[in-house]
Structure 1
């Protein structure tokens, strides 16, 4: 069986691995990647001579996909967990504890955000259950519009935006409720009389299990293992240019004739490739926009007295350029023993030109100055590394689920074709891996 996987990010690599595991030598597998390396937005670089992730660094530990892959590939000893510290939010020129028991920063009542927002906002939140709620069952609006109406703009800027900015490199006003917060949409659809009640109903039960996990030596350990186990014919630096249905399968340029194709490409590239074969899917995919970001890793002297927190998120509207800091040497115990203190500074929300327009030197200066501001320390990094992510994260705008349903319905009508990627059912690494697994299962199911 001849299969082409287009896209060498985690979604495509997992799909390729699952195909090889199922078919063995009966599979003729080609993996095509537009850039010169595999991994997509996962990238492990080096700073001070040691590995550090310069894209995603963690995954949701309560999902099974990544731990399961590590076990299967003999890498279980690479699984690590954070130290259990909580982040801060920098707002109104001061650091505040991250509110507890919120849903992506949305509180179920005023107590969660006391101290983060002003008294007038707290009163508005407390009164929210007494105001009529207008919610169209099955509808969708931006998270920002919903929260601002019910709880006020300060909650959006100081609590919700910092968290959504970390997940999507977006803003509450550009992210839809139904795709980003499905449990909240379900609670509202079920008839919750107000947002406070809906958030309370949607909150997960308390758990002592680690929320996040990581990989000790960086994501490249997993990426390399997936590639080795999948053993495809690897074509890097090669763009897939055309996809055409044939009598017996597909023609994928430049691969040629194949029995099946998995498109593990970003939404705009998927739209281009599906234009002829699945025009309805192409139109829906073309509506999904991307956000760019940049990351600066700073190596500071080992004795730098960083705060005892996992990170510092920055509220929107603050006179800072960075949107967040990960205090990596505090967050991860395996990084705490290095001979430098490590901090990652993140830049870029949807529509922000800083990540792509600023030079490396400008980003490093901004990262150092902003970190000095939020910590109150005079900092002089020993070294720094910059990594840019052009169009790295899809925006789950209002109506996103309907777009994805249109894409998947159209693709389902075409045997031997499957899609995977971060734009489908979540931008996190486990969600991406799950789409790769599902794509491989679709192809295997048709072949059996």
Structure 2
């Protein structure tokens, strides 16, 4: 007797929700999809809150409009699928600055995540090494080579370019250090170009040329009303049964698929599924994988994470420059590593009463002692440092919010991509109906996570045979 497929999606972040939507769109009619989320809310690091009566992002702020090849990003495609395209808005101010030598300097143009394609354009911020970027007669990287971003850039351009440009740019995205992060995972287009080009500046220009962007075309977008609208729309479109406060504690293979142990130890619930998408951070995923395949669990569980705090202030009529925000190199010795002027950057958030929303990010990988501060101390320190960087005494905040994201940002060491590929190959061979997705494997950013979830859904459909049994 035939019956519908039963697919469990473990993890209700955007990767898991994208997987659920793709399953609904492409799996056979009647497929039963259940999303299990340990916390009390869907969305993971997409969280729209409210401060001083206005919506504001307490997590991810925006998404890339284009994919690395220059086409529409997976996030935009999903937004169109969900009927939210008319809500897409773009920054009205795009120029950001770097806080160096006690002042703000515009981020130079022509760089790729801070790596310059033209050394003269970055001279106002960082001095390249005297013998910078000589052509050595061969490609910068071998066919399968991966290195830390900082290792390559320091060798080619010197320390100051890394410390003042590349490190703060990567730190703003990953809360990590250029000397620790994989080039292939964090900057795949540059890595591809570096396997052909003989100079780093040449590789930057080649990577930029490979993904052309129309003049004036927006790089980033967000949704009017907040990114939580994306979460809500995806959950609805998936038609999935959503289980909140539902921790999956064990995963056991059975003759017909999988048995999930859900809920508290004293009163567990056993659920049967034909296939499972694990859209979890690396360590929780590894705990579930350990009894199933210790080899894959060890590989996945070895990924480290950084913790951050986002401090948002509502300021009455502050003196703010016409910037989207600024980045802070670690060498400046400040607690904050980045700041966004929300009501300047995003014109749709501008308020007639002059109240400005300003957010600062705190916490770097390997140096997270600042996160031990209590919320009022974090707010006071951020307010003081913002005043110092801007050179004005900012007014006292009318309201503030501290959002802590513990273990939120994956740190991809060189070779990460190869390790993940090997783990997935081993898992697919042994258990094709158990598939991994999420930022811990494939990279940060909403488009990457959406694509990761959609790919996982496709693998599930293929593993189950393309039609209900």
Q: Indicate conservation of the 8 Å contact 1:293/1:355, yes or no.
A: no
Question: Aligned pair 1:248/2:248, yes or no?
Answer: no
How far does residue 159 in structure 1 lie from its aligned partner after superposition?
Answer: 0.2
Pairwise CA distance, 1:338: 5.3
Cα deviation, 1:362-387, whole Å, max 9, x if unaligned, reads: 11112111111111121121111110
Match in the other structure for 1:207: 214
1:407 aligns with 2:423: yes
Secondary structure of residue in 1 paired with 2:170: helix
Look up the match of 1:48.
52
CA distance in 2, matches of 1:258, 1:27: 11
Report the alpha carbon displacement of residue 355 of structure 1 after superposing the two structures with TM: 5.6
Deviation at 1:2, TM superposition (A): 1.0
Alpha-carbon distance in structure 1 between the residues aligned to 2:135 and 2:48: 47
Aligned length: 443
Q: 1:326 aligns with which of 337, 340, 348?
A: 340
Partners of 1:183 and 1:313 in 2: how far apart? 23
Structure in which a larger fraction of residues adopt helix: 1
The unaligned stretches of length 5 or more in structure 2 are 68-72, 263-269
Conserved 8 A contact 2:103-2:390: no
Cα distance per residue 1:63-93 (max 9 Å; x no partner): 4322222222222221111114210001121
Please state how far the C-alpha of 1:285 moved relative to its aligned partner.
Answer: 0.5
Describe the shift of the 1:338–1:46 C-alpha distance in structure 2 as closer, same or farther (beyond 3 A). farther
Q: Who is 2:94 aligned against?
A: 85
Which residue does the alignment assign to 1:149?
155
Cα-to-partner distance string for 1:330-386 (whole Å, 9 max, x where unaligned): 111101235311111011111222463111111111211111111112112111111
Name the residue aligned to 1:33.
37
- Aligned partners of 2:352, 2:327: CA distance in 1, in Å? 24
Structure 1 range deviating more: 67-76 or 165-174: 67-76
Distance in structure 2 (CA, Å) of the matches to 1:357 and 1:4: 37
Judge conservation of contact 1:128–1:196 (CA < 8 Å) in 2.
Answer: no
* Deviates most, 163-172 or 405-414: 405-414
Give the Cα–Cα distance (whole angstroms) in 2 for the partners of residues 338 and 436 of structure 1: 40
Instruction: Please state if 1:389 is matched with 2:405.
Output: yes
Q: 1:113 to 1:124 in 2, by over 3 A?
A: farther
Tell me whether 438-447 or 391-400 shows the greater mean CA deviation: 438-447
1:123 to 113, 127, 130: 130
SS for the counterpart of 1:100 is coil
RMSD: 1.9
Distance 2:233 2:28 in 1: 16
Which of 253, 263, 274 is the aligned partner of 2:278?
263
Distance 1:253 1:215, change over 3 A: same
- Structure 2 equivalent of residue 102 of structure 1: 111
Deviations 1:139-197, CA, capped at 9 Å, x for gaps: 2221111111211111111000111011111110110111112222222222x222232
Rate the CA distance shift 1:93–1:3 in 2: closer, same or farther, 3 A. Answer: same
| Inter-partner Cα distance in structure 1 for 2:96 and 2:199 | 29
Aligned counterpart for 1:353 among listed residues 345, 368, 371? 368
**Cα pair 1:102 1:203 within 8 Å, conserved:** no
State the distance in 2 between where 1:188 and 1:22 align: 38
| Aligned equivalent of 2:378, options 363, 366, 371 | 363
> Could you list the runs of 5+ residues in structure 1 that have no partner in the other structure?
none
Shift of 1:4: 0.8
In the alignment, the residues of structure 1 paired with residue 284 and residue 63 of structure 2 have an alpha-carbon distance, to the nearest angstrom, of: 25
How many angstroms does 1:20 deviate by? Answer: 2.4
Q: 2:202 aligns with which of 184, 187, 197?
A: 197
Residue 201 to residue 31, structure 1, CA distance change in 2 (3 Å): same
**2:457 paired residue number:** 440
| Residue matched to 2:70 | none
Aligned to 2:339, what secondary structure does the other structure show? strand
CA distance in 2, matches of 1:85, 1:183: 22
Contact 1:364 1:384 in 2 (8 A): yes
Deviation for aligned residue 1:52: 0.6
Query: In structure 1, what is the equivalent of residue 246 of structure 2?
Result: 238
SS in 2 for 1:292: strand
Counterpart for residue 431 of structure 1: 448
Greater alpha carbon shift after TM alignment, 11-20 vs 233-242: 233-242
In the alignment, structure 1 residue 139 sits paired with structure 2 residue 145: yes
TM-score of the superposed pair, with normalisation by structure 1: 0.94
C-alpha separation between the residues in 1 aligned to 2:56 and 2:21?
Answer: 25
Name the residue aligned to 1:182.
188
> Aligned to 2:449, what secondary structure does the other structure show?
helix
Match of 2:62 in 1: 58
Corresponding residue of 1:113: 122
- CA positional deviation for 1:130: 6.6
Q: Deviations over 1:248-283 (max 9, x none)?
A: 111121252110100000011111111122333212
User: How many angstroms apart in 2 are the aligned matches of 1:30 and 1:132?
Assistant: 52
